[in-house]
Chain A
Amino acid sequence: MNDNRLEPTLHELSRPGRVAVTMPAPSRRANIPPELLRDELRLPEISQLDVVRHYTRLSQLNYSIDTQMYPLGSCTMKLNPKVNDAITAMPGFADAHPMQTADQSQGSLAVMHGLQRILAEITGMDDASLAPLAGAQGELAGVLVIKAYLESIGEKRTTIVVPDSAHGTNPATAAMAGFNVVAVQPQPDGDMDLEHLREALEEHGPTVAALMITQPSTLGLFDRNIVQVAKVVHGHGALMYGDGANLNAITGQVKPGDLGFDVMHINLHKTFSQPHGGGGPGAGPIVVKEHLVPFLPSPHVVLDAGGSTLEAGSNRGSSNLHPPASSFALVDPPFSIGRLGAFHGNFAVLLRAYAYISSLGGEGLRAMSEAAVLNANYIRARLRDAYYLAHEERTCMHEALFSAKKQKAQAGVKALDIAKRLIDYGYHPPTMYFPLVVDEALLIEPTESESKETVDAFCDAMLAIAREVETDPELVRTAPHTAPLGRLDEATAARKPKLRW
Chain B
Amino acid sequence: MTIDVARIPDAPNRRLGDTPIVQHPYIPLTDDDRKAMLATVGVRATADLFADIPAEHFRPEIDLPDALTELELLDHTRTLAARNRTAADNACFLGAGAYRHFRPSLIDPLVMRGEFLTSYTPYQPEVAQGTLQTIFEFQSLVCELTGMDVANAGMYDGASALAEACLMACAVTGRKRIAISDRVHPNSIATVRAYAHGRDIPVEVQPHGEFSLSDEYACLAVQQPDFLGRMAVAASEWGDAAHHAGALFVVAADPVSLGLFRAPAQYGADIVVGEGQSLGVPLSFGGPYVGLFACREKYTRQMPGRIVGETTDTNGRRGYVLTLQTREQHIRRERATSNICTSQQLIALSTAMYLATLGPTGLRRVGELCFDKAHELAARIEHLPGFSVEDDEPWFHEFVVRTPKPPVEINAALLERGIIGGLDVSDIRNRMLLCVTEMNTADELDRMVEALAEVSR
**Residues from chain B with Cβ under 8 Å of A226 in the complex:** 54
Q: Which one of A3, A83, A97, A279 contacts B86 once the chains associate, using CB atoms below 8 Å?
A: A97
CB distance B282 to A95 under 8 Å?
yes
Please count how many residues in chain B sit with their CB below 8 Å of the partner chain's CB atoms.
Answer: 210
Known contacts A121-B62, A361-B64, A449 near B313 by CB under 8 Å: no
B11 proximal to A (CB < 8 A): no
CB distance B194 to A144 under 8 Å?
yes
In angstroms, Cα B23 to Cα A452, docked, is: 14
**Residues from chain B with Cβ under 8 Å of A344 in the complex:** 285-287
CB distance A313 to B360 under 8 Å?
no
* Distance to closest chain B CB from A200 (angstroms): 16
Known contacts A30-B371, A94-B283, A344-B287, A362 near B1 by CB under 8 Å: yes
Residues of B111-142 whose CB lies within 8 A of A: 112-131, 133-137, 139-141
**Residues from chain B with Cβ under 8 Å of A85 in the complex:** 112, 117
**Residues from chain B with Cβ under 8 Å of A501 in the complex:** 136-137, 140
Residues of A20-59 whose CB lies within 8 A of B: 20-28, 30-33, 35-38, 41-46, 48, 51-52, 54-56, 58-59
**Residues from chain A with Cβ under 8 Å of B122 in the complex:** 278-279
Q: Which one of A54, A63, A171, A499 contacts B334 once the chains associate, using CB atoms below 8 Å?
A: A171
Known contacts A250-B53, A368-B26, A168 near B323 by CB under 8 Å: no
**Residues from chain A with Cβ under 8 Å of B340 in the complex:** 134, 136-137
CB distance A367 to B121 under 8 Å?
no
Known contacts A315-B63, A321-B65, A338-B197, A100 near B420 by CB under 8 Å: yes
Known contacts A30-B372, A67-B115, A253-B50, A488 near B311 by CB under 8 Å: yes
In angstroms, Cα B314 to Cα A343, docked, is: 45
A468 proximal to B (CB < 8 A): no
CB distance A373 to B50 under 8 Å?
yes
B60 proximal to A (CB < 8 A): yes
A409 proximal to B (CB < 8 A): no
B362 proximal to A (CB < 8 A): yes
User: Which stretch (B88-96, B212-220, B237-245, B380-388) binds chain A?
Assistant: B88-96
Residues of B76-119 whose CB lies within 8 A of A: 76-78, 80-89, 92, 94-98, 100, 102, 104, 106, 108, 110, 112-119
* Distance to closest chain B CB from A439 (angstroms): 17
Known contacts A362-B64, A484-B129, A105 near B285 by CB under 8 Å: yes
* Distance to closest chain B CB from A221 (angstroms): 7
Known contacts A99-B97, A452-B29, A9 near B324 by CB under 8 Å: no
Residues of B313-371 whose CB lies within 8 A of A: 313-321, 323-326, 328-336, 338-347, 349, 352-353, 355-369, 371
User: Across the two chains, which residue of chain A brings its CB closest to B51?
Assistant: A395
**Residues from chain B with Cβ under 8 Å of A35 in the complex:** 233
In angstroms, Cα B286 to Cα A282, docked, is: 14
In angstroms, Cα B349 to Cα A56, docked, is: 13
Q: Which one of B85, B158, B376 contacts A104 once the chains associate, using CB atoms below 8 Å?
A: B85
In angstroms, Cα B136 to Cα A327, docked, is: 46
In angstroms, Cα B367 to Cα A359, docked, is: 43
The binding surface of chain A is classed by DSSP as loop
CB distance B41 to A377 under 8 Å?
yes
A489 proximal to B (CB < 8 A): yes
Q: Which one of A106, A143, A358 contacts B76 once the chains associate, using CB atoms below 8 Å?
A: A358
CB distance B87 to A95 under 8 Å?
yes
Q: Which one of A6, A140, A321, A337 contacts B317 once the chains associate, using CB atoms below 8 Å?
A: A6
* Distance to closest chain B CB from A296 (angstroms): 12
**Residues from chain B with Cβ under 8 Å of A420 in the complex:** 124, 126
**Residues from chain A with Cβ under 8 Å of B96 in the complex:** 99
**Residues from chain A with Cβ under 8 Å of B26 in the complex:** 78-79, 81, 359-360, 364, 368, 448-449
Known contacts A37-B260, A483-B126, A497 near B323 by CB under 8 Å: yes
A75 proximal to B (CB < 8 A): yes
Residues of B281-304 whose CB lies within 8 A of A: 282-290, 300
CB distance A136 to B362 under 8 Å?
no
CB distance A62 to B356 under 8 Å?
no
Q: Which one of A6, A63, A281, A492 contacts B288 once the chains associate, using CB atoms below 8 Å?
A: A281
**Residues from chain A with Cβ under 8 Å of B179 in the complex:** none
Q: Which one of A18, A92, A355, A362 contacts B84 once the chains associate, using CB atoms below 8 Å?
A: A92
Known contacts A175-B335, A485-B125, A449 near B353 by CB under 8 Å: no
CB distance B60 to A124 under 8 Å?
yes
CB distance A317 to B66 under 8 Å?
yes
Known contacts A253-B58, A367-B24, A500 near B286 by CB under 8 Å: no
Known: A63-B119, A278-B122, A493-B309. 9 other contacts (CB 8 A): A9-B137, A43-B359, A62-B127, A70-B120, A96-B285, A269-B342, A367-B24, A378-B41, A489-B314
